Amino acid sequence: MNGLYPHYLLASFAFALLLAGFGLRKRSRYGHAGLMAAGMAIDLALVLVLQLTKDAVGTVAGESLSVWQYAHVSASTTAVILYVPVFSLGWIRLRQPSAPAKLRTLHRRLGYIALTFRALGFLFMFSMLSRH
């Protein structure tokens, strides 16, 4: 088995955590926060591992990828970048439930956008199998 397949399994697990956390957003404040934070942390860790072990940035910059592979990289990168404000705003909301409603709205909107990009990145992730 190719050494990259565990990354796909871990990415799938992280995405499942994000979906479960999204499903709990109206029912369990701490369940939502915990699952989303875990999913984001795994995604961020995967990015670091792929960079350190596979030179992910060099691969994207130096190789010719298909449109679908570039779509994966673009969507996943956008999601990971959005994790920073989504997590920060969620942390504020978790610690200060009476924080301004604007923060909640911004957190929710950015969260939907990040999850959409993550879903696209997940779907396009399988195009990367053709590289291996």
For 58-103, what is each residue's pLDDT tens digit? 777 777 889 999 999 999 999 999 999 999 999 999 999 899 999 9
| pLDDT at residue 64, as a whole number | 81
Query: For residue 132, is pLDDT > 80?
Result: no
* DSSP calls for 46-111: HHHHHHHHH-HHHHHHHS---HHHHHHHHHHHHHHHHHHHHHHHHHHHHH-TTS-HHHHHHHHHHH
- pTM to 2 decimals? 0.89
- The model's pLDDT over 15-46, given as tens digits with 9 standing for 90+, comes to 999 999 999 999 998 999 999 999 999 999 99
